[in-house]
Amino acid sequence: MRYVILDRDGVINEDSDDYIKSPEEWHPIPAALDAIALLSKHGFRVVVLTNQSGIARRLYSPAMLESIHDKMRAAVAEAGGEIFDIFYCPHGPEDSCECRKPKPGLFQAFAKKYGVALAGMPAVGDSLRDIEAAMAAGAAPMLVETGKGLRTLDRHPELDVPTFPDLYAAAQNIVFSQA
């Protein structure tokens, strides 16, 4: 089975400095849903790994996060795709957990649950911490310019990872380079 790992905010949906606190605040990035459909149609299982410190900050509950994810899954399904699983870190930056990116804990939890090797697995993110977590886990990081992507490139011009304008362009690369 082939997998693709995606960050959520800034990759699949519009990011917000005020956090995505309800389904009404969740808005897909143009073509991101089609990108997930493309991956799904080509036999990739899409897994989302996302930091959700809004839970630790008491901005929303785990149940509300589940409602947001229900909306995301429904939108992806309507576009013809599927999100196979979602892993999230509910902790804040000061909690020193192992699951908050840039640490690789979410990647390791996914790999353990499904018995998969992370080596070379595409992992698409929009921030330095996404790239660092993928590298620490042995996955193959990719950066999109949506969300915090352009800011990440500006602040870290030394980053030597494949970079794409958006998730659809990254998905095309993944599908056609691994066909």
Residues annotated as catalytic are 7, 9
Could you identify the residue written with the tokens 């790239």? 131
Residues 6+ apart with CB under 8 A from 23: 67, 68, 70, 71
Rounded Cα gap, residues 13 and 33, in angstroms: 9
Residues 6+ apart with CB under 8 A from 126: 7, 9, 10, 11, 15, 143, 144, 145, 146, 147, 148, 149, 152
Nearest 5°: the CA angle 147, 149, 154 is 135
> CA nearest 9: which of 44, 43, 53?
53
